[in-house]
Structure 1
Amino acid sequence: MSVIEAVDKGKGSRMQLNKSLSNTAQWVKLNVGGTCFMTTKTTLCRDPNSFLCRLCSEESDLISDMDETGAYMIDRDPTYFSPILNYLRHGKLVLNKNLAEEGVLEEAEFYNITELINIVKERILQRDKKLCSEQVKKHTYRVLQCHEDELTWMISTMSDEWKFEQLVNIGSKYNYGNYDQAEFLCVVSREEGVADSPKTESTDKAKELQQRASRM
């Protein structure tokens, strides 16, 4: 082997060793509540103002114990740390259905990850709005006027969603042959979600008609 070949080989070995050491220095081990996580400094420093970035920084002002393997020890719930770490890895919040948004928010605030805090708060807001629209119901009233001979037909053909509330006899102003045919106000109602009923009759108007009819 020539001197030049030996020198080149030595340089190659040193470069490979330096690259290996550099890659090793990039990896960080975390012991969160007894569970070990492996990640990189690049991932942890996605938010430069976060607790995790400051923890692994060479100029860190944080003091943290390490276990026997050299992992930083953090006394937090490892179950909720997984979505935190995955968010730092790929920028998306993916939650297991058994995890509560409030739990993730608590961890995001502890680790001081500002962008994630805003995302979780918005998700909680949208979730609560959806639950509210599904649970809160209101009554829609209708007042139907009919003749006596139409009453049975009208009630029998009423759809299942409508509930009979009140029947008011309002008399008649019309003569049919030798007798007066009675007229009725039939008050019906139905329950519907606020979000599903943009066009509904006024409840106040329906009640006003009921009161007016009862005085006749």
Structure 2
Amino acid sequence: MAELQLDPAMAGLGVGGGSGVGDGSGPGRGPPSPRPAGPTPRGHSRPLAAIAQPLEPGPGPPERAGVGGAARWVRLNVGGTYFVTTRQTLGREPKSFLCRLCCQEDPELDSDKDETGAYLIDRDPTYFGPILNYLRHGKLIITKELAEEGVLEEAEFYNIASLVRLVKERIRDNENRTSQGPVKHVYRVLQCQEEELTQMVSTMSDGWKFEQLISIGSSYNYGNEDQAEFLCVVSRELIILPTALYRNRAKRQR
């Protein structure tokens, strides 16, 4: 006997009394439900179209870190040479030209920019290095190739007050050192025994420095102990004043 199999897609119509299909006892017959276009898998009560629903879009890839950090960096075109630094570095001196130009964007300091977006500054790039390094770490570093007066000129232009004071102090110290004339040393050689060495070094007069200790290499018996002897070399600076400066000081003392 042949067995009748119902299409699962027709399950929604019901079998026996629910839909009235085939017995004429129910309400009026309606048109049959449309069958899905594709094949219906066995063992499922829903069509394949209901199963294969489109997936909702998930979260996109994470944004690159540091994308917004580009605004922290500043590009400067000083006399045709490019310098790159941060706004935090230029903001160390709030009243300086660089802080007002790049950090505060003072309208009174309207500076043009080149095709790369760098601020155009018509100054000597050779002396800008010490200026920028001072803003970075707070130390004044001047190479032998640079003149201190040139650094002072740039510090005054950029209105960095603390750097101006520091450069002026260094220039003044160098002038005083030059005016004192060449520095020479006076040496003294002291002979002492081993037990006297520590006391002699610790009680040296001001200005004298220990230079060298020389062992004589001979010893003699003093009582029951051997006493070694040493030569202790000490020195101090002797400043020779130029003749003109010496005469001026002599006149003042009179």
Fold shared per TM-score above 0.5 = yes
Match of 2:157 in 1: 110
**Secondary structure, aligned partner of 2:84:** strand
Q: How does 1:189-204 map to 2 (within 5 A)?
A: 193-194=240-241
Matched, 1:74 2:121: yes
Match of 1:179 in 2: none
TM value normalised by structure 1: 0.56
What's the CA shift for 1:135?
6.2
> Which of residues 126, 131, 145 in structure 2 aligns to 1:98?
145
Match of 1:32 in 2: 78
**Letter of the 1:44 counterpart:** L
Of all paired residues, the percent bearing the same amino acid is 56
**Secondary structure, aligned partner of 1:134:** coil
Q: What's the CA shift string for 1:63-106, capped at 9, x where partnerless?
A: 00111111000000000001100111111010110111110000
CA RMSD, Structure 1 to Structure 2 (Å): 2.7
Match of 1:127 in 2: 174
**Letter of the 1:50 counterpart:** S
Task: Could you tell me which runs of 5 or more consecutive residues in structure 1 were left unpaired when the two chains were aligned.
Answer: 137-190, 196-202, 205-216
Q: Which has the higher helix share?
A: 1
Q: Distance in 2 between matches of 1:32 and 1:192?
A: 44
Task: Could you tell me which runs of 5 or more consecutive residues in structure 2 were left unpaired when the two chains were aligned.
Answer: 1-54, 184-237, 243-249
Max radius of gyration: which structure? 2
Higher RCO, 1 or 2 (CA under 8 Å, sep at least 6)? 1
Match of 2:133 in 1: 86
**Letter of the 2:101 counterpart:** L
Q: Distance in 1 between matches of 2:72 and 2:132?
A: 16
Q: Distance in 2 between matches of 1:134 and 1:194?
A: 5
**Letter of the 2:120 counterpart:** M
**Secondary structure, aligned partner of 1:76:** coil
1:58 to 1:6, Cα distance in 2 relative to 1, 3 A: farther
Matched, 1:54 2:100: yes
What's the CA shift for 1:194?
3.7
What's the CA shift for 1:192?
5.8
1:68 to 1:109, Cα distance in 2 relative to 1, 3 A: same
> Which of residues 16, 20, 26 in structure 1 aligns to 2:67?
20
TM value normalised by structure 2: 0.48
**Letter of the 1:116 counterpart:** L
Q: Distance in 2 between matches of 1:127 and 1:77?
A: 24
**Secondary structure, aligned partner of 1:29:** strand
**Secondary structure, aligned partner of 1:84:** helix
